[in-house]
A and B are shown apart, each in its own frame.
Chain A
Amino acid sequence: MRDDVAAQIGPALEISGLSLSIGGTDILRNVSFDIPQGGFRSIVGPNGSGKTTLLRCVMGVITGWTGDVLVGGRPVASHRRRDLARLVSYVPQSDEMVFPYTGRELVMMGRYPHISPFTRPSRADIEVVEHTLETTGTLSFADRDMRTLSGGERQKMFIAGALAQEAGTMLLDEPTTFLDPRHTDEILSILADLNRSGITIVIVTHDINHAVHYADSVTALVDGSIVFNGLSEDLMKNEVLGSVYGKEFTLVKHPVSGKMMVLPGGPRP
């Protein structure tokens, strides 16, 4: 079977037996899960549970881990970096921009894996960038200095940059942390739209309600081990939440989606 055919029918991301220890401390312990093509997965867990590290291992930012990570059916390390960037895009917790690039320039950087060395962006690349700016609703501020954008606008632009890579899977590390409710909602709607258009989405998040509301499945990590991996509605039970966060919550049913949500002010332990 050809690789690209296998990639279409197999899981987008397969992780098995992933372990990492740094300086004698186990950061990830034998983590295994698959993410199917077209899925929307939330990764949740308390601070320091290894969520961000997990994404970094997949992206090759951290090396020295053991186990298997398969992207498109092949070990992640067997992909050339540029090829990997055409399969998986990544929105890390963003660093500040230090130089006055415009949003449009930033999104064009997302075309890097598609433009062969020593050539200029083609008409097709420019079209992808314009289309991406439209899809993400960032066109109106695309010519502004990135450093003058609000946190929400900047995050949308980073997502546009990742989208311009035209990868089938997008990993996002806490994409809505520090954002106001409006931008949080807008960004998650953009991700939901992208997911409907066929892109596999994986987000690391602290917000259980968002994790459950938008994602079809959830992986919960505690101290580097998986404590829950399954459908998002199955997470929202107090015996499960208790094992993740060590606390019980007050749960109510969302009047529109019918999914359970967490309310602030849960019962005291």
Chain B
Amino acid sequence: MTRARQTGVLIVLFIGSVVVLLTMPLIGMKLTPIQAILDPAGSGIEGEIFWRIRIPRVLAAWLAGAGLASAGMAFQALFRNSLATPFTLGVASGAALGAALSIRFGVALSIAGISSTPLWAFAGASVSILLVYGITSGIIGARRGMNTATMLLVGVAVSFFFSSLNMFTQYISDFTHTFRIIRWLMGGVQVTGYRSVLEMLPLVLGGLLITLLLTRELDILTTGEEMAAGRGVDVVRTRNLLFFGASLMVGGVVAVCGPIGFVGLMVPHICRLLVGPGHRFLAPASILAGGSFLTLSDTFARTIIAPAEIPVGVITALLGGPFFLALLIRDQR
């Protein structure tokens, strides 16, 4: 893996993201004509759709993909396991419960008119991370690394636990709330206008910044916590910072888009094949590739059966399920 190749891949991924962000908003039931973009006021509905619906939707999809991929990458380093992701660890379920509670009791919990859903999702994500990490390392012993079977079982258990609380929340909700929660739980970028984008933006950017600043520590943590301590890494502080950053990203994404699965599994894995395991290149590569991947998936999801649309979570799960199984089979050999 030469330095030139790693840099080359990053440049290609960067250009790819720019192209995706510039062209995907044009695509829909009808291609947006140029004058509608330049003069949204004069061209009626097409300019309106482009600026008020497609642009924020593409931005939200890109941010969600970048955040989920980056969170997955951080979990894989911390759990020393390539099958650790927000989805498989039950962290997305925790975030979803936080978000569902805030949708159900929305009015009472909103702070100064701004939706508090992302903060509740963040809280749910944090609690579930601490649960999964605490239980897994308690069973195996933090020193011995994370045994795949145990980690996945704990993730499934935590996921079920939060899902059942989620169902209870739906059960005690009225029809409109229940519909909103169920639809949103399928995972999709149902964004209109810029408010949702702005809601998730600070959380996702904060989380991305934290992972980008800790790339050397991420490398060293993959060699084991005891070795990392010997290298001079403040393991507990670094781990908590990364958990915090990952919770911010998962919380921000899940609050707006619901639990979209498998982005955090597939993207870091493919990027590792492209630029190697070192996080100095892996972190930016995962962010760029994750953003492009989810934006493309979402464009596909909203155009393939237009005028209806498929939740993008259905698409990522269709791709991700087999991918996950393939990795599991390979790792267990």
Contacts and interface: CB of A to CB of B under 8 A. Distances in A.
Interface in B38-92: 80-82
Contacts of A60: 229
Contacts of A61: 143, 225-226, 229
Interface in B210-234: 213, 216, 219-220, 222-227, 229-234
B233 A98 contact: no
Contacts of B277: 99-101, 105
Given A92-B224, A109-B220, A118-B213, A85 B231 contact: yes
A148 to B, nearest CB: 14
B16 interface: no
A112 B276 contact: no
Given A98-B145, A106-B223, A92 B230 contact: yes
A98 to B, nearest CB: 5
Contact of B143 (A81, A95, A106, A165): A95
Contact of B230 (A83, A97, A98, A162): A162
Interface in B139-161: 143-145
Contacts, number: 86
A90 interface: yes
Contacts of B272: 99-100
A4 B277 CA distance: 38
B225 to A, nearest CB: 8
A113 B233 CA distance: 8
Interface string A65-96: 00000000000000001111110111110111
A100 B276 contact: yes
B230 A89 contact: yes
A80 B230 CA distance: 12
A202 to B, nearest CB: 13
Contacts of A237: none
B202 interface: no
Contact of B82 (A89, A99, A105): A99
A105 to B, nearest CB: 6
A113 B231 contact: yes
B278 interface: yes
Contacts of B80: 95, 98
A206 interface: no
Contacts of A56: 226
Nearest to B1: A102
A221 interface: no
Contacts of B213: 118
A59 interface: yes
Nearest to A86: B232
A81 B234 contact: yes
A105 B223 CA distance: 11
B88 to A, nearest CB: 16
Nearest first, the 6 A-B pairs at minimum CB distance are A85-B232, A90-B230, A95-B224, A113-B232, A99-B277, A82-B232
